[in-house]
Structure 1
Amino acid sequence: MFLRPGIIRWWRGAVGPRPSGASRAEESPLRLELFSLEHLERHGKALAGWHQVDERGGRNRLLARLSDNEQVLLDAYELVVAAAEGERRLSPAAEWLLDNFYLIEEQVRLARRHLPRGYNRLLPLVINGPHAGHPRVYALALELIAHVDGRLDQPGLVGFIAAYQTVAPLRLGELWAVPIMLRLALIENLRRVAARIAHGREARDEAQRWADRMIEVAEHKPADLILAVADFAKTQVVLSSAFVAEFARRLQGQSPSLSLALNWVDQRLNEQDLSIERLVQLEGQSQASDQVSIGNSIGSLRLLAAMDWREFVETLSVVEATLRCDPADAYADSDFSTRDACRHVVEETARRGRLAEPAVAERAVALARATGGDGSVHDRRRHVGWWLIGPGRDRLERE
């Protein structure tokens, strides 16, 4: 048994009746031109120059989308489970969804836990382009996922973000938000593939019902086959690649009289410069692409869990690089909690003073450098920590 009844019952009680998969708009997976590392870096710089940003943040729309994504994934999973229990053929992507749904559930829970309702107010928003109204760091996550077809790796991620920051440095909070935003973007991608899985499953099920009806009529009342085909034509079935591929698979090689139904389908398709053969080919390509996208996205969710995000932030933070210019050479040798405390003060001071974080870090370093080195008190003042988490903080904030 694949379904976990407790989860299904909780969802039905929490969100009420669910629309069928077919009633939801199908959005394309995050799948754009594949970029090499060099191309990703160029793209990062281009985005940084193009993005228009509202530094004030805004309301959190990502939580609502996460809940919707979770339901689409659950709807698709239920369809796949029903098909598996009915011993119907599954697409490769559907098998991936079936085998890894537990991991997707876990990632959705993690995303919700790490996405408090007021989070967006701390993150600058993009106000132009397709991701307008969303946090800038989420827009970057979507762009990256789309240009690697969901297959993240650390060099690509670091190179992309580093290149963006050569033009427009990210806030510390944005860098810390990268893992949650990547998780949300991957869940978004999985939702889109899952919606395609659901639409394909429903189309194949409909094709199977019509094909079975045709086969039964051909076997028992062959004279009525033309009436069955007429009924089929009246329903105005959408001849999607999934429907046509399954319909043809079920009827080809059966009774010769069934060629009547196949010929009607082919004639309809010819009106659109298509054919059964072409749609079967397109369906195969679509299934292969979806399998790659879902496999890559699930693999990337595992990568997120394995990455050292402290190292990521400290490697890419412009504030961190500035504070490491500490004239006492003590900052870099301090422990993580001390460095983190210094960075938090930079964040808070910048936010209250409506300043850029790098400017605050530069001022702390400048104050440390301006202090002479002729005595123990002065030596301590040559450490940026004196000005951030020590007695010099008041002066830093005043200036």
Structure 2
Amino acid sequence: MADIEENDPIVGAADEAASRHQLTGLIGNSAPLPIWSHLDAMKDWLTRARQEAAQADRHGSAAAEWLLDNDYQIQRAILQIREDLPAEFYAKLPGLAEAGLRRPRIHQLAHAFLQASHLQVSLNIAVQFIDRYQKKLPLSIAETWAFPTMLRIVSLELLVTGFSRLFPQIAPPFQVDDTPGTSIAAIDDTECVARGIANLAVTATIQWNDFFDRTSRVETILKRDPAGIYARMDFETRDRYRHAVEQLAKQSGLPEWDVAQRALRQCHTTSETPSGHVGYWLVDAGRRLFADALDPRPWTFGSTMRRAASSWRSVCSRPAPRWACSLCPSDLVSRLVWRASPILAALHRAHAATCLDHQHNLRELARDPNHTASSPSQTGFQKGHPQGLRDRGRDARSPRPGVRRPPAAPAPRSAPPLQSRREPRIRASQRLGRRRYRDASHRHRDRSRADRRHRGPERALCGSQRPRSLSFAPSPTALQCGAGLLDGLGA
């Protein structure tokens, strides 16, 4: 069996590519591919190619017929590449320092696969090639997802190269540079056009989710979940777990397969049911502890900021006042404000109720016919004189009989008093209190009228002759607010 695998051209090509890439080495960021940078120019090239193919001679008639019959495949591939390979995703692909071109490794791997399979795309052959390659060099999650997109790119490169050789008057929209192991100079031009278009059609029919499940190293490791839950999840939920592995690997600087392996070992460290599932350490409450265990430098600036951001998100997600969480610089102060928020709310309600009671009492004094003064200081109420200045038989502001008061001198103009920051708030609260009291008095008046109509004139008369009480005792609203304050302090 081993001899058969060694003689298999797919296995041999995968081993050769892995050995060559090991010697070359990987780089963090790859250079943009020419075809990826000129996707918009591909549409103009396709229009000119169709016009030239319609007038093709016998030499290029076969390639022209392939192009005219399958131009929609090319248009669909261009749209699919633009959708599946944005700039943010392209930046995740590591490159090769081979020949100084810094091309993505998965792009070179797609070239090697098509050459080993004689320009034919098949799901089983692709799985066999990638599995053999990963025995020496594992691929990341992003590279595994980018493999079908790179197959489309390589197929378009074959198509454009072969068509440009058959029709030199049609300039290619990009320049294809051959690298070791990806040369297509020995392939027939018509074969390049035909196989390129056929591979685009086959690539669109393959279920690439199955390819990912069968070739991803991270997926293979996570399926060994001790709880047996991960293997029974749907694809979207498992994809969420894989994204968590990607984030943790990026934060810690470890390979993705190593992060998945450590998460699996973390599940075996405890026998409890929640922490025995791999999702507990990736997306649940154990993620923070697992991230701290992965970070080899636990007190760096980046790790400290990540932990602070994580604590911030956890505090702000609780039912606490949003303004309090935005003002607090740390998790401890946020927790204190969150605990004290019922007490602050009770104090605010008690203060508002006290203001309403005070305004209610002032209005009752103003409505009483026995009190004609405009303020408590003029009536002597605050000085302990119930009758005030009215017991003297005259108003203090009126002159004595037979004595003319000289005209008062105009008051000197002075600068307006400085207004504090709290005065607008106090005035606004007073206006709000007056508005609430007015609405309450209107409701009381309407209720009293309805009671008079139902109770009859005798009870209405008794009710109208009931004396008023000018008591400054706290209202039931203030008592309820005080009870809420005591409950908040006890909590």
> What range describes the TM-score normalised by the shorter chain of this pair?
0.5 to 0.7
Could you say what secondary structure the match of 1:170 adopts? coil
CA 1:192/1:45 → structure 2, altered by over 3 Å: closer, same or farther? same
Q: Decide whether aligned partners of structure 1 residues 37 and 111 sit closer, same or farther in structure 2, where only a CA change above 3 A counts.
A: farther
Shift of 1:329: 1.4
The answer as to whether partners of 2:89 and 2:142 remain within 8 angstroms in 1 is no
Q: Which residue of 1 aligns with 2:266?
A: 367
Question: Which of 82, 99, 105 is residue 55 of structure 2 equivalent to?
Answer: 82
Which of 118, 122, 125 is the aligned partner of 2:95?
Answer: 125
How far does residue 346 in structure 1 lie from its aligned partner after superposition?
Answer: 0.5
Provide the secondary structure at the position in 1 that maps to 2:128: helix
Quote the offset at 1:357 in angstroms. Answer: 0.4
Correspondence list, 1:229-378, <5 A: 289-372=188-271, 378=272
The offset of 1:323, in angstroms, is: 0.9
Cα displacement (A) at 1:68: 5.1
Q: Which residue of 279, 289, 292 maps to 1:398?
A: 292
Aligned counterpart, 2:10: 40
Deviation at 1:348, TM superposition (A): 0.8
**Equivalent residues of 1:54, 1:124 under 8 A apart:** yes
Cα distance change of structure 1 residues 55 and 326 upon mapping to structure 2, 3 Å threshold:
farther
Whether the 8 Å CA contact 2:29–2:94 is kept in 1: the answer is yes
CA drift at 1:296: 2.2
Contact 1:145 1:152 survives alignment (8 Å): yes
Matched residue of 2:168: which SS? helix
2:126 pairs with 1:157: yes
> In the aligned structure 2, how far is the partner of 1:347 from the partner of 1:175?
13
Gaps of 5+ in 2: 1-5, 172-184, 294-491
**Are the equivalent residues in 2 in contact too, given 1:59–1:120 (CA < 8 A)?**
no
Overall identity of the aligned pairs, in %? 31
Distance 1:106 1:319 in 2: 31
- After superposition, the Cα gap between the structure-2 partners of 1:101 and 1:93, relative to the gap in structure 1 and judged at 3 Å, is same
- The answer for the alignment partner of 2:483 in structure 1 is none
Whole-Å Cα distance in 2 between the matches of residues 348 and 187 of structure 1? 33
Q: Report if the CA contact (8 A) 1:319-1:357 is conserved.
A: yes
Do structure 1's residue 96 and structure 2's residue 96 form an aligned pair? no
When structure 1 is superposed on structure 2, of 315-324 and 42-51 the one drifting more is 42-51
Q: Deviations over 1:212-265 (max 9, x none)?
A: xxxxxxxxxxxxxxxxxxxxxxxxxxxxxxxxxxxxxxxxxxxxxxxxxxxxxx
> Is the Cα contact below 8 Å between 1:149 and 1:293 reproduced in 2?
no
Q: 1:70 to 1:148 in 2, by over 3 A?
A: farther
Corresponding residue for 2:462? none
Closer, same or farther in 2 for the Cα pair 1:331/1:349, shift >3 Å? same
Where do 5+ consecutive residues of structure 1 fail to align?
1-35, 203-285, 373-377
Residues 110 and 352 of structure 1: CA distance in aligned 2, closer, same or farther (over 3 Å): same
1:385 corresponds to: 279
| Partner SS for 1:391 | coil
Contact 2:30 2:96 in 1 (8 A): no
Is the partner of 2:70 in helix, strand or coil? helix
Mapped partners of 2:253, 2:27: distance in 1: 9
- After the TM superposition, which residues 218-233 of structure 1 pair with which residues of structure 2 at under 5 Å, given as runs? none
Cα distance in 1 between the residues matched to 2:134 and 2:258: 15
- Per-residue displacement from partner, 1:25-57 (whole Å, max 9, x unpaired)? xxxxxxxxxxx9921222112211221343422
1:119/1:340 CA distance change after superposition, 3 Å: closer
Partner Cα distance (2:168, 2:116) in 1: 25
Distance 2:7 2:79 in 1: 31
Q: Would the aligned equivalents of 1:145 and 1:186 in 2 still touch at CA under 8 Å?
A: no
Shift of 1:73: 4.4
Residue pair 1:60, 1:117 contacting (<8 A) in 2 also: no
1:69–1:191 Cα contact (<8 Å) kept: no
The 8 Å contact of residues 9 and 116 in structure 2, kept in 1 or not, is answered as no
3-state SS of 1:133 partner: coil
Q: 1:173 Cα deviation (Å)?
A: 0.6
CA–CA distance in 1 between the matches of 2:83 and 2:281? 34
| Cα displacement (A) at 1:102 | 2.3
8 Å Cα contact 1:72-1:194 kept in structure 2:
no
1:196 to 147, 165, 177: 165
Measure, in 2, the Cα distance between the counterparts of 1:171 and 1:179.
14
C-alpha contact 2:56 2:64 (8 A) present in aligned 1: no
Equivalent position SS for 1:183? helix
Higher relative contact order (CA 8 A, sep 6+): 1
Q: How far apart, CA to CA, are the structure 2 residues paired with 1:70 and 1:189?
A: 16
Q: 1:199 to 1:148 in 2, by over 3 A?
A: farther
- Alpha-carbon distance, 1:179 to partner: 1.1
Normalized per residue, the structure richer in helix is 1
Show the counterpart of 2:440: none
C-alpha distance after superposition, 1:199-223 (max 9, x if no partner)? 3999xxxxxxxxxxxxxxxxxxxxx
Work out the CA distance in 2 between the residues paired with 1:195 and 1:179: 24
Q: Which amino acid aligns with 2:37?
A: A
Q: Compute the displacement of 1:388 (Å).
A: 0.7
The separation in 2 between residues aligned to 1:55 and 1:382, in whole angstroms, is 37
Q: TM-score when scaled to structure 2?
A: 0.51
Asked if 1:56 is matched to 2:28, the reply is yes
Instruction: Give the superposition deviation at 1:93.
Output: 1.6
- State the 1:89 CA deviation: 7.1
Aligned length: 271
Report the Cα distance in structure 1 between the residues aligned to 2:194 and 2:166, rounded to whole angstroms.
14
Question: Structure 1, residues 116-151: CA drift from partner, whole Å, max 9, x if none?
Answer: 13333200101114x831111111112222333422
Point out the structure with max Rg over C-alpha: 2
Cα distance, 1:364 vs. partner? 0.5
Show the 5 A alignment for 1:11-30. Answer: none
Shift of 1:358: 0.8
Distance change >3 Å, CA 193–CA 176, structure 1 → 2: same
Which residue identity lines up with residue 61 of structure 1 in the other structure?
A: L
Equivalent-residue separation in structure 2 for 1:39 and 1:200 (angstroms): 38
Partner of 2:312: none
Letter paired with 1:199: P
Give the letter aligned to residue 60 of structure 1: P
Contact 2:164 2:170 in 1 (8 A): no
Query: For the residues of structure 2 that align with 1:67 and 1:156, how far apart are their CA atoms?
Result: 32
TM-score of the superposed pair, with normalisation by structure 1: 0.63
Q: Is the 8 A contact 2:27 2:95 kept in 1?
A: yes
